[in-house]
Amino acid sequence: MAESLTLKGAGLRRFWSFVAGAGMIAASVLTIRHFFLANFPESIFQGSFCDLNAFFNCDSSAYSALAHFRGVPMGYFGLFAGALVVLGVLFPSASFERTNKFLAFFNALGVIGLFVYTVFSLHTLCLFCAAYYIFSLLSFFLFWRYGLSRSLPSLKLLAVFAVVALTGAYGFQLFYEAKKDAQLGGVAMNVVKEYYSLDEVPNPSFISPFWTAKATEKFEDAPIRVIEYADFRCPDCLFLYRQLEQLKKEYGGKINIAFQHFPLEAKCNTVVEKDLHPGACDLAFITSYDASKFKAIHDEIFENFQKARSPEWRTELARKYGPGDKGPRPEDHRYRG
């Protein structure tokens, strides 16, 4: 009898195939959940936090161009692939195993492609995605090493899987559109209610001279006032930047936005114990050199968010706008909270 991964006599190999499939499912569910939490927070108190440091960061992946396809999160396809592996173990057949072996090859190619894209283009790695990569490659190895040698898939099963996958994808697309609509409806109203229920607090003792929107000379005179605490290496701050850009268009001439530096890097911030966002101090220093140039530098950094990770790019930015290699070092300006 030919060696098999799931048929009678597979024994421990079949167990590990189940583990790999179940791991793919679990990682995909967490990835999908994170995608919707990050892009559609349901209140001002609920968001998405998967930010260990500048590299191990799930938010960058959730906001990336490849996070979804027409509203269908990439995690859905991983969920479907994992489900097929588990079903292949629970209901084994030669045609099912051959088809799963065929799909495992393309899933492994996709995993490698996504890993290369996130690490070398986004310069980050989502831990949920990394778990999926590991379980997917384990599944591929098992199929490659122990799967039936006749690897041609069942066209009938492929057709059934395609129909089921497209049906599920359409459901996710409808859910995504409903989430978008909810942001303009019920959720938006909840956010407004929560905003007005907040206790009124005075302005901080110091309001930064670095503004990204200026409707009036005096900060307090604008109908809409935003004090933004952020750093230039924070993925969530990049998301906020895009939202504030939209607000500036909608409320032009009515909004003041003051940018308060709070780099999450111990190099210049005594409140932070470790360098969560390396390079944030350098960028804070560069943008603070000349208040008249702040907005231009601020926008250029966020529009080149991944490039700003490079020390060479930051050096060129400093030379372009003035500080160059002269002046005080970032560590000479310490943020004390």
Q: Confidence class of residue 333 from pLDDT cuts 50, 70 and 90? A: very low
Q: Confidence class of residue 152 from pLDDT cuts 50, 70 and 90? A: confident
Domain 12-183 carries which CATH code?
A: 1.20.1440
Q: Which of 36-50, 141-155, 190-204, 262-276 has the lowest mean pLDDT?
A: 36-50
Return the domain boundaries, the chain: 12-183, 201-332
More confident position, 9 or 337: 9
Q: Which two tokens stand for residue 270?
A: 């005594």
Q: Are 168 and 73 in contact (CB under 8 A)?
A: no
CA-to-CA distance for 288 and 42, rounded, in angstroms?
A: 35
Residue 161 reports pLDDT greater than 90 = yes
Q: Establish whether domains 12-183 and 201-332 are of one fold.
A: no
Q: Confidence class of residue 332 from pLDDT cuts 50, 70 and 90? A: very low
Residue 201 reports pLDDT greater than 80 = no
For the chain, give the percent of residues with pLDDT over 90.
58
CA-to-CA distance for 63 and 67, rounded, in angstroms?
A: 6
More confident position, 323 or 141: 141
pLDDT given at position 51: 62
Other residues' Cβ atoms within 10 Å of the Cβ of residue 205: 5
Backbone φ and ψ of 72, nearest 5°: -95, 110
Task: Considering the domain delimited by 201-332, tell me its CATH architecture.
Answer: 3-Layer(aba) Sandwich (3.40)
Span 83-105, average pLDDT: 94
pLDDT, tens digit (0-9, with 9 covering 90-100), for 4-58: 899 887 789 999 999 999 999 999 999 999 888 888 876 555 555 566 666 777 7
Q: Which two tokens stand for residue 274?
A: 């470790």
Q: Which two tokens stand for residue 122?
A: 């986004």
Average pLDDT, the chain: 86
* DSSP single-letter state for residue 101: H
Core vs surface per residue 88-116: b (16+ CB within 10 A) or e: bbeebeeebbbbbbbbbeebbebbeebee
Other residues' Cβ atoms within 10 Å of the Cβ of residue 72: 20
Q: Confidence class of residue 327 from pLDDT cuts 50, 70 and 90? A: very low
Query: Which contacts qualify for 227-231: CB closer than 8 Å, 24 or more apart?
Result: 227/203, 227/257, 227/258, 227/260, 228/257, 228/258, 228/259, 228/260, 229/260, 229/262, 230/259, 230/260, 230/261, 230/262, 231/261, 231/262, 231/263, 231/264, 231/265, 231/277, 231/280, 231/283, 231/284
Residue 13's alpha-carbon distances to 3, 19, 21, 98, 306, in angstroms, are: 11, 10, 12, 15, 42
Core vs surface per residue 246-267: b (16+ CB within 10 A) or e: eebeeeeeebbbbbebbbbbbb
pLDDT, tens digit (0-9, with 9 covering 90-100), for 208-234: 999 999 999 999 999 999 999 999 999
CA-to-CA distance for 33 and 47, rounded, in angstroms?
A: 11
Q: Confidence class of residue 149 from pLDDT cuts 50, 70 and 90? A: confident
For the chain, give the percent of residues with pLDDT over 70.
88
Radius of gyration of the chain (CA): 25
Q: How many whole angstroms from its chain centre is CA 2?
A: 44
